[in-house]
Structure 1
Amino acid sequence: MTRDGVFLADDEEKRDDAFAVRRAVFVDEQGVPEELEWDEYEETATHFVAYDAGRPVGAARFREYELDGDRVCKVERVAVLEDSRGEDWGRRLMESLEAEAADAEFDRFYLHAQTSAREFYDRLGYEQVGDEFLEADIPHVKMVKRL
């Protein structure tokens, strides 16, 4: 599956590329401890990687999650390399992720957005629910969207 330079990370090479982007953004740039970045959902989540001229520049994943008794799509680990931000990769990743999740019959999305990215998700139709909280010592807010 490809959409606007975004691929389903459905083989080892693409997953390694997605993980390299996550390492660069979350671990190296933001200082998230390795033990928090890699979790028990790596094998079961649906991963995506974005390529610009063959170079991995973005990553994201989703997984099934229960929220208020409903089965929802939890969006996680959305990352774009610093030198590729502002080039629309985040939107392309999210559109690909949402299309794949809709095919899997999800109609409600849930995520923890870093507060610095809240406006980005607002523009994509996500709404904040609840107050700000810390996750990996970084301020976040919960956000939801219905298709």
Structure 2
Amino acid sequence: MEVKIVETHEELEQAYHVRMVVFVEEQNVPAEEELDEFDKTAIHFIGYEKKQAIAASRLRFTEEYGKLERICVIKEYRGKSFGKELILAMEDVIKEKGYKKAKLNAQTHAEEFYKKLGYETISGEFMDAGIPHVTMIKEL
């Protein structure tokens, strides 16, 4: 998979499309909750496989953390380490910007996936968009 930072309006629309497919169509997140005010200022990532957009995420900076958000891979492409590639690309940008910690809110079914990438759970379970989550951090 080729992972890149979104640079054009077309790439941003493709990233939004991947997010809508995964979160709104598949996971029933309300569309009005999926796209929010933070999209305007976030760094967006897009993953391509054979020129098709198959993964997306966004990165924001809060306090002392790079905050990984909206990480998603189209269902047919899961289990091929594309999510890991996306996260590693995001962590590289966090380090390039001089931050030493990454933070994310993981859906609980993905908690083990993030633990394998070095993230540690720092919260109890909470609901976001009707889906159980936990907060996780990693020292970079």
3-state SS, counterpart of residue 15 of structure 2: helix
Instruction: Give unmatched runs, 5+ long, in structure 1.
Output: none
Specify which structure has the higher proportion of helix. 2
Paired residue for 2:84, among 62, 77, 91? 91
Determine the structure 2 residue equivalent to 1:119. 112
Bigger strand share: 1
Q: CA deviation at 1:81?
A: 0.2
Q: Distance in 1 between matches of 2:94 and 2:44?
A: 11
Alignment partner, residue 41 of structure 1: 38
TM-score, normalization by structure 1: 0.93
The equivalent position to 1:13 in structure 2, one of 10, 13, 20, is 10
Cα offset, 1:124, TM superposition: 0.6
Q: Greater shift after overlay, 4-13 or 41-50?
A: 4-13
Give 1:35 deviation, angstroms: 1.2
Q: Which residue of 1 aligns with 2:133?
A: 140
**Consecutive aligned runs of 4 or more in structure 1 exceeding 3 Å deviation:** none
Any idea what SS the aligned residue of 1:15 has?
Answer: helix
Q: Offset at 1:11?
A: 1.2
2:98 is paired with a residue whose SS is: coil
1:48-87 equivalence runs, <5 A:
48-66=45-63, 71-87=64-80
Query: Which residue, 12, 19, 24 being the options, matches 1:22?
Result: 19
Whole-angstrom distance in 2 between the partners of 1:72 and 1:87: 27
Alignment length, in residue pairs? 140
Q: Distance in 1 between matches of 2:10 and 2:93?
A: 20
Structure 2: which 5+ runs fail to align? none
Cα deviations by residue, 1:32-57 (Å, 9 ceiling, x for unpaired): 00111111111110000000000000
Structure 1 residue 133 displacement after superposition:
0.7
> How far, CA to CA, are the matches of 1:10 and 1:63 in structure 2?
16
